[in-house]
Amino acid sequence: MDEVTNAIADPVRRDILVMLRGTTLTAGEIARHFPISRPAISRHLRVLRESGLVRDELAGTRRLYRLEPAALAELAEWIAVLRTPAGWGHRLDALETEVRRAGRERAGHRTTQDRDHTEDIA
């Protein structure tokens, strides 16, 4: 996870990841969107590739880069844990149990009332 967080710490690399979402691009196509040199873009791509966030493949004489979203899974899980307040899972389970218990009690109470009402009519 450290390699991934280090890779996405740079805004240029984050922008490259967004550009690669759902498509493949060459280093030259990526470089056109930034006011930095092509060698600098190549260094950014190397960091992204070494972190596992980007894969490259040769297509003839061109090297195509594509996003590897699975590399973000561990980071996404860690963030999800931080976003969930401690103890909420247990509290929600307890709430669900209480709601079901109250529902059963209401259903039982209605059955008793129906039976009493039927006896009063007879």
Read off the pLDDT of residues 71-122 as tens digits, 9 standing for 90 and up: 999 999 988 888 877 766 667 777 788 888 888 888 876 665 666 555 556 5
Read off the pLDDT of residues 33-58 as tens digits, 9 standing for 90 and up: 999 999 999 999 999 999 999 999 99
pTM of the model: 0.67
Q: Are 105 and 113 in contact (CB under 8 A)?
A: no
* The two structure tokens encoding residue 8: 């996405």
Chain position carrying tokens 């860690």: 78
Average of per-residue pLDDT across 60-69: 95
